[in-house]
């Protein structure tokens, strides 16, 4: 299927909403319909983008007039900052996701964007990657219902399982499985065509999440960013983590710093993936897994990603 902006029907009454090019902030979402009502998988990074998506969904299905449930796969703003447009819907997330959402609401993001010009290279990098989005005056609608582990829902007659697989990308990652349709919405457990970014880790947990997706034997995998995928893309991501773990371990044992390691690692078949600056965050996460005691704060990560992005 072509990687075009908008809705793509991936099973009968089930759509993915894609936002090329899938880079920083350009997330995917999903619509699951059944018997006159529907479930939305994630909102977008700002209100304008989310409103545009909801309009497209209403044109595609009358069931989108009544979105009974919103699932936030995780707390990054590009998957939940549009929640305010879904007042009246149940908003469901893992308990850890709900905590993380409170910690970085859009008002904080807006303040960071205003401060960005005085924050050096890290600020310039943030200002550049998030320039297309608007965080001003965005109220955040927090989850109205949280769960741990697994939550089985029904959308009309359709079964929908929410499976908590974090901490991995963030602390509270959830994937959405439609067992009767062969579809999995992975949230940011899968970035298709670009580097993942390990905000939380451990990496072993992310690999286990990939295993879990493969065990579901989906026909269609809707990634959090990038084009629609087959399970092979999930297996590729496991290969990426395996290789990066090996490469980073050698750098760690040689006493290299993270930036030096990020420039040193040989990515082999994954060298062409987008947003390679995320290696800084990913190698920091692996160094933590290896026992490094100095966790990097967000500003350090942004500075190092800015340095790699050039
Ligand atoms: Zn995302």
The model's pLDDT over 95-109, given as tens digits with 9 standing for 90+, comes to 999 999 999 999 999
| Tokens coding 302 | 């942004």
Q: What is the DSSP letter of 297?
A: P
CA 111, 113, 118, 122 torsion-angle sign: positive
CA distances from 79 to 26, 30, 70, 147, 203 (A): 10, 11, 11, 18, 21
What is the Å distance from ligand 1's center to 189 Cα?
9
**pLDDT for position 66:** 96
Q: What is the mean pLDDT of the chain?
A: 96
The model's pLDDT over 211-265, given as tens digits with 9 standing for 90+, comes to 999 999 999 999 999 999 999 999 999 999 999 999 999 999 999 999 999 999 9
The packing angle between helices 120-129 and 106-115, to 10°, is 120
**pLDDT for position 15:** 98
Determine the Cα–Cα distance for residues 231 and 148; give it in Å rounded to an integer: 25
* Predicted confidence (pLDDT) at residue 284 exceeds the cutoff of 90: yes
Contact criterion met (CB below 8 Å) for 194 and 274: yes
- Give the confidence band of 268 by pLDDT, cuts at 50, 70, 90: very high
CA distances from 243 to 199, 246, 260, 270, 281 (A): 19, 5, 17, 9, 16
**pLDDT for position 297:** 86
CA distances from 89 to 14, 161, 293 (A): 19, 18, 42
* Predicted confidence (pLDDT) at residue 1 exceeds the cutoff of 80: no
What is the Å distance from ligand 1's center to 308 Cα?
20
* Predicted confidence (pLDDT) at residue 188 exceeds the cutoff of 90: yes
**pLDDT for position 2:** 86
DSSP bridge partners of 229: 221
Residue 89 makes CB contacts below 8 A (sequence gap 6+) with: 40, 67, 68, 69, 70
What is the Å distance from ligand 1's center to 172 Cα?
13
Ligand 1 ion local residues (Cβ < 5 A): 27, 76, 78, 188, 224
**pLDDT for position 298:** 84
What is the Å distance from ligand 1's center to 101 Cα?
13
């Amino acid at each position: 299927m072509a990687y075009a902006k908008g809705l793509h029907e991936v099973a009968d009454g089930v759509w993915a909403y894609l936002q090329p090019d899938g880079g920083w902030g350009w997330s995917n979402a999903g619509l699951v319909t059944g018997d006159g009502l529907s479930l939305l998988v994630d909102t977008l990074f700002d209100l304008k983008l989310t409103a545009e998506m909801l309009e497209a969904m209403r044109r595609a299905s009358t069931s989108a007039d009544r979105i009974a449930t919103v699932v936030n796969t995780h707390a990054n703003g590009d998957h939940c900052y549009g929640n305010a447009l879904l007042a009246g819907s149940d908003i469901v997330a893992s308990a850890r996701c709900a905590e993380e959402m409170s910690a970085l609401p859009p008002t904080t993001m807006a303040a960071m964007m205003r401060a960005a010009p005085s924050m050096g290279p890290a600020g310039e990098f943030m200002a550049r990657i998030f320039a297309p989005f608007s965080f001003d005056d965005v109220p955040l609608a927090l989850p109205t219902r949280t769960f741990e582990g697994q939550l089985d829902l029904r959308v009309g007659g359709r079964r929908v399982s929410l499976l908590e697989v974090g901490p991995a990308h963030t602390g509270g990652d959830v994937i959405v499985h439609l067992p009767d349709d062969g579809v999995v919405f992975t949230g940011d457990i899968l970035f298709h065509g670009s580097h993942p970014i390990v905000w939380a880790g451990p990496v072993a947990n992310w690999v286990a999440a990939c295993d879990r997706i493969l065990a579901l034997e989906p026909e269609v995998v809707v990634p959090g960013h990038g084009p629609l995928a087959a399970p092979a893309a999930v297996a590729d991501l496991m290969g990426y983590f395996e290789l990066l773990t090996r490469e980073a371990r050698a750098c760690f044992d040689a006493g290299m710093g993270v930036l030096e390691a990020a420039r040193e690692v040989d990515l082999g078949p994954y060298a062409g993936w987008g947003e390679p600056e995320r290696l800084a965050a990913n190698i920091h996460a692996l160094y933590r897994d290896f026992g490094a005691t100095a966790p990097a704060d967000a500003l350090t990560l942004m500075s190092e990603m800015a340095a790699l992005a050039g």
